[in-house]
């Protein structure tokens, strides 16, 4: 509680500093103001690289995505934020739905970021991706048993599946993509089968599901890829021991491909430095910055010209679902309603 309060006070102080900068023309310099829900102190190296390349200073405020969205709403048209960075297309859709983002056109970004990883109207651009994969126990599951998300609802997986709460934004994105692919009624039937096959009621986060597979609670977990990568690359022997018992599987490779979601950036509607905002996002989409931006979080670079972290590279290439991230993000409310109907807590 003390640490949470401390972070909020620090964030509030930073917000106040940015407000003073925006309100005082005499202090104006070439700068860009970033509101980010990425909590990686090492991002400072990215900002330093951008400043070195362009001469533009980066002022960063870090806070929870909901806090940042509420702050931007309160600040209104005179808010100091130029760039909003957050994880998950659903959260980007939330900001867009509140009217906080500005459509942006950039030839560099359109060349660097695949179409399905950016908003059709340029409201945001994906900078890193994570796959919603299956993590399975090597001693209890043959890879040949695994195929698709849909197959997890079949009787063969009775009592074997582990997954976190349906209200989690990652699962809402997955369910939204299934609704897009299969329709509402078929996805509802799938969801009921998935609930029947759960090894236990949902509890904890993705890492908890992975650890539960290693402990024998279930055989297969649905998880974002970076959670498993972190265990594989961990400095803690206990985490690496857990990872050794498990392997990753990319679903739907013979069909539409594996569901992927994004960490993305957007120019805000109130941006006092919109040109600098575009320059920063273009920099973050460059192959040089992409590798670092994604490596820190063990995500995949959105720019296909950038190489992924060696752990991810060791898993091999996989086919991504080409569904635009804005499409499944727009179905979050529908996905939550469906999960409630099928009993996925």
**Distance (Å, whole) CA 171 – CA 9:** 31
Residues 45 and 155 in one domain: no
Residues 144 and 36 in one domain: no
Q: pTM of the entire structure?
A: 0.90
The vertex-113 CA angle with 312 and 106, nearest 5°, equals 155
Residues 156 and 78 in one domain: no
Known binding positions: 39, 226-227
The predicted-structure confidence for 267-322, as pLDDT tens digits, reads as follows 999 999 999 999 999 999 999 999 889 999 999 999 999 999 999 999 999 999 99
Residue 181 in domain: yes
Residues 121 and 142 in one domain: no
Residue 319 in domain: no
Residues 94 and 81 in one domain: yes
State residue 217 phi and psi, 5-degree precision: -70, -40
The vertex-122 CA angle with 120 and 127, nearest 5°, equals 100
pLDDT in 10s for each residue of the chain, 345 residues: 333 333 443 444 444 444 444 444 444 579 999 999 998 878 999 999 999 999 999 999 999 999 999 999 999 999 999 999 999 999 999 999 999 999 999 999 999 999 999 999 999 999 999 999 999 999 999 999 999 999 999 999 999 999 999 999 999 999 999 999 999 999 999 999 999 999 999 999 999 999 999 999 999 999 999 999 999 999 999 999 999 999 999 999 999 999 999 999 999 999 999 999 999 999 999 999 998 899 999 999 999 999 999 999 999 999 999 999 999 999 999 999 999 999 999
Residues 228 and 335 in one domain: yes
Residue 320 in domain: no
Residue 246 in domain: yes
User: Which residues share a beta bridge with 133?
Assistant: 223
- Range of the structural domain that residue 116 is part of: 2-129+260-307
Which residues have C-beta within 8 Å of that of residue 270, sequence separation ≥ 6?
Answer: 72, 75, 76, 77, 78, 79, 80, 81, 100
> At 179, which CATH number?
3.40.190.10
Residue 35 in domain: yes
Residues 282 and 153 in one domain: no
Tally of structural domains, the chain: 2
Residues 196 and 330 in one domain: yes
Known binding positions for Fe cation: 39, 226-227
User: Which residues share a beta bridge with 34?
Assistant: 60, 83
Three-state DSSP class for residue 337:
helix
| Exposed / middle / buried, residue 7 (Cβ in 10 Å: 0-12, 13-18, 19+) | middle
The Cα-based distances of 151 to 69, 154, 267 in angstroms read: 37, 5, 40
The vertex-62 CA angle with 59 and 68, nearest 5°, equals 105
The Cα-based distances of 146 to 141, 143, 232, 247 in angstroms read: 8, 5, 21, 12
The vertex-8 CA angle with 7 and 13, nearest 5°, equals 100
Residue 321 in domain: no
Residues 7 and 94 in one domain: yes
The predicted-structure confidence for 234-274, as pLDDT tens digits, reads as follows 999 999 999 999 999 999 999 999 999 999 999 999 999 99
Residue 8 in domain: yes
Residue 316 in domain: no
Residue 123's pLDDT is: 98
Q: What is the token pair recorded at 16?
A: 């106040």
């Amino acid at each position: 509680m003390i640490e949470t309060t401390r972070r909020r006070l620090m964030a509030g102080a930073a917000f106040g500093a940015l407000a003073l900068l925006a309100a005082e023309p005499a202090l104006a310099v070439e700068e860009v103001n970033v509101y980010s829900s990425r909590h990686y102190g090492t991002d400072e190296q990215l900002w330093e690289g951008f400043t070195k390349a362009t001469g533009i200073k980066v002022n960063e405020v870090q806070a929870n995505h909901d806090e940042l969205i509420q702050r931007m709403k309160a600040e209104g048209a005179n808010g100091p934020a130029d760039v909003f960075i957050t994880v998950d297309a659903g959260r980007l859709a939330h900001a867009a739905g509140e009217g906080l983002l500005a459509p942006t056109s950039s030839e560099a970004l359109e060349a660097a970021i695949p179409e399905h990883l950016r908003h059709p109207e340029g409201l945001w651009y994906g900078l890193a991706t994570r796959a919603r994969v299956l993590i399975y126990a090597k001693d209890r599951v043959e890879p040949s048993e695994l195929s698709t998300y849909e197959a997890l609802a079949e009787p063969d997986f009775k009592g074997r599946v582990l997954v976190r709460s349906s209200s989690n934004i990652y699962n809402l994105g997955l369910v939204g993509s299934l609704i897009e692919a299969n329709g509402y009624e078929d996805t509802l039937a799938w969801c009921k089968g998935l609930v029947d096959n759960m090894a236990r009621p949902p509890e904890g986060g993705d890492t908890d599901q992975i650890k539960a597979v290693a402990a024998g609670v279930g055989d297969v977990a649905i998880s974002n890829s970076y959670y498993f990568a972190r265990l594989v690359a961990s400095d803690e022997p206990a985490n690496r021991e857990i990872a050794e018992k498990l392997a990753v599987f990319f679903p739907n490779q013979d069909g539409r491909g594996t569901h992927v979601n994004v960490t993305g950036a957007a120019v805000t509607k109130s941006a006092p430095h919109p040109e600098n905002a575009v320059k920063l996002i273009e920099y973050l989409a460059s192959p040089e910055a992409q590798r670092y931006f994604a490596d820190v979080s063990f995500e995949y670079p959105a720019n296909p010209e950038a190489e992924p972290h060696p752990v991810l590279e060791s898993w091999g290439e996989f086919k991504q679902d080409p569904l635009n991230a804005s499409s499944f993000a727009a179905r979050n409310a529908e996905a939550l309603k469906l999960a409630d109907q099928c009993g996925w807590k």
